[in-house]
């Protein structure tokens, strides 16, 4: 079976946006495989925004210390192989296929049990593949990004050495709860007996459930502010220079090849996570410098084209939109900015569009392909027309058409113009596939 067919077969299972709230199926698979998730220590990362970039930074820092790493991420931008990385590189198509062949008979056994009334979901299967691949490598440490929530996410079949929680906001409220406290309670589920909880700064409503969970299980807590944090930052060519407070004291003049205050704070969180994993002592500043300098985070305000400039970002909720808008203004200062926006139907489109409208003088609305969750172009454009002045909202049937129109509008606007693609991780991936060869 070729790679494309295999991925189509796997993604035809119960999809990620439909949640089977249970660890029964993934635990059954792990038991059949000999519990590969226990083969290496785990740093698990939950939260609403910044999980992916924080995991990438943790991975890079760990590799700078000389450790062999596995990293599990979700969702993917272009290819499902991106979800399972060894030493910073996605599995090859061949290895991805081999891992599936190795676990497929056991997945079928679990399917036959029809636990909780459903077969194994796509996310459960690929989580199982990741743990199997990490055990087989073997890796020294696995960095695991939670898919959704925390308590019943398939990745939570492990007990992490370090449980990291990035900033929590209102997203997936139809699944996780309407309030920040409810959402934080779900995400706090990754904090388990024996874990060290490394917590980013949170809204007040999210703090109490996280601390209550840590007290309940007896976890050590290291929090942004009292224990670590961002001290200073200044923009630089290709990123920023930051000074952070680590567990071992302040460390300065660190180049981070990512834009925005939110990424600088994620870097401080990543350093604290690695220091906690390595026993709570400060990392050698040279290791921090090397690890952060080597970070590569596609589609995080990534400049993928010049003349005109095209920047791609994954922002898809109100919290992320605010961070993206502020960082884009600081890093690129386009005059004007032409937006390309596509969103999912289950997101708060109006709030995100209002934030984008602060910097996007014109916007091209389109629809991502290949998912029933995509909001139709006409519906999203109707919302946009309530926010932008008349004549500033355009529509395009596909991402390719939207990019073509946006670049024409940017060319016509003058040499200072640029294009910002945002609104959905899937949209970012499809735009990147078209522009990055």
Domain residue limits, the chain:
3-294, 302-434
Angstrom distances, CA of residue 220 to CA of 29, 152, 178 = 31, 22, 28
Spell 111-131 as b/e; 16+ CB within 10 A means b: beeebeeebbbbbbbbbbbbb
User: What residues of the chain score a pLDDT lower than 70?
Assistant: 16-19, 170-177
Query: Is the pTM value of this prediction over 0.75?
Result: yes
Nearest to 182 by CA among 193, 171, 196: 171
CA–CA distance from 167 to each of 72, 243, 263, 332, 350 (Å)? Answer: 19, 20, 12, 25, 22
pLDDT in tens, 186-195: 999 999 999 9
Q: How many helices (H) and strands (E) does the chain have?
A: 15, 17
Alpha carbons within 13 angstroms on the beta-carbon side of residue 44 total 32
Whether 40 contacts 142, CB under 8 Å: yes
Distances (CA, A) of 150 to 154, 177, 364: 8, 13, 35
pLDDT given at position 15: 74
**Secondary structure (3-state) at 134:** helix
pLDDT reported for residue 343:
98
In b/e form, how buried is each residue of 40-77, taking b as 16+ CB within 10 angstroms? bebbbbbbbbbbbbbbbbbbbbbbbbebebbbbbbbbb
3-state secondary structure 314-338: CCCCHHHHHHHHHHHHHHCCCCCEE
The CATH number that domain 3-294 falls under is 3.40.1190.10
Superfamily of domain 302-434: Mur ligase, C-terminal domain (3.90.190.20)
pLDDT score for 164: 98
pLDDT of residue 437: 80
What the block records as the tokens of 377 is 């172009």
DSSP 170: S
Distance of CA 180 to the CA centre of its chain: 19
* pLDDT given for residue 17 in this prediction: 61
């904090």: which residue's tokens? 191
Q: What is the pLDDT of residue 18?
A: 65
- Classify the C-alpha dihedral 165-341-369-303 as positive or negative: negative
CA angle 48, 343, 126 (to 5 degrees): 55
Per-residue buried b or exposed e for 361-374, using 16+ beta carbons within 10 Å of the residue's own CB: bbbbbbbbeeeebb
């Amino acid at each position: 079976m070729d790679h494309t067919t295999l991925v189509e077969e796997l993604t035809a299972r119960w999809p990620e946006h439909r949640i089977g709230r249970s660890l029964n199926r993934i635990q059954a698979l792990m038991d059949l495989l000999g519990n590969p998730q226990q083969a290496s220590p785990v740093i698990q990362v939950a939260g609403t925004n910044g999980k992916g970039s924080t995991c990438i930074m943790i991975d890079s820092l760990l590799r700078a210390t000389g450790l062999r790493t596995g990293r599990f991420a979700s969702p993917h931008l272009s290819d499902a192989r991106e979800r399972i990385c060894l030493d910073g590189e996605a599995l090859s198509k061949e290895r991805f296929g081999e891992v599936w062949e190795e676990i497929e008979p056991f997945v079928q056994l679990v399917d036959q049990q029809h636990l909780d009334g459903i077969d194994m979901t796509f996310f459960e299967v690929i989580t199982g593949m990741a743990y199997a691949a990490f055990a087989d490598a073997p890796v020294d440490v696995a960095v695991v990004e939670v898919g959704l929530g925390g308590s019943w996410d398939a990745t939570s079949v492990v007990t992490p050495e370090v449980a990291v929680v990035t900033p929590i906001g209102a997203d997936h409220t139809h699944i996780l709860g309407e309030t920040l406290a409810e959402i934080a309670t779900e995400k706090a589920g990754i904090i388990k007996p024996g874990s060290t909880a490394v917590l980013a700064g949170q809204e007040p409503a999210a703090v109490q459930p996280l601390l209550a969970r840590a007290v309940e299980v007896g976890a050590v807590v290291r929090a942004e502010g009292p224990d670590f944090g961002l001290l200073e930052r200044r923009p630089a060519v290709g990123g920023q220079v930051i000074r952070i407070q680590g567990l071992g004291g302040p460390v300065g003049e660190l180049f981070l090849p990512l834009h925005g205050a939110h990424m600088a704070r994620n870097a401080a969180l990543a350093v604290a996570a690695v220091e906690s994993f390595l026993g709570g002592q400060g990392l050698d500043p040279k290791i921090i410098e090397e690890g952060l300098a080597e970070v590569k985070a596609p589609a995080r305000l990534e400049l993928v084209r010049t003349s005109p400039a095209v920047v791609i970002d994954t922002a898809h909720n109100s919290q992320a939109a605010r961070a993206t808008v502020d960082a884009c203004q600081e890093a690129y200062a386009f005059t004007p900015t032409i937006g390309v926006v596509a969103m999912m139907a289950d997101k708060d489109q109006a709030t995100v569009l209002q934030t984008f409208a602060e910097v996007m003088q014109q916007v091209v609305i389109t629809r991502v392909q290949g998912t029933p969750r995509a909001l139709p172009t006409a519906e999203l454009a109707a919302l946009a027309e309530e926010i932008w002045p008349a004549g500033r909202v355009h529509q395009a049937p596909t991402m390719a058409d939207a990019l073509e129109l946006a670049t024409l509008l940017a060319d016509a606007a003058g040499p200072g113009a640029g294009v910002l693609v945002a609104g959905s991780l899937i949209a970012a991936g499809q735009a990147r596939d078209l522009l990055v060869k």
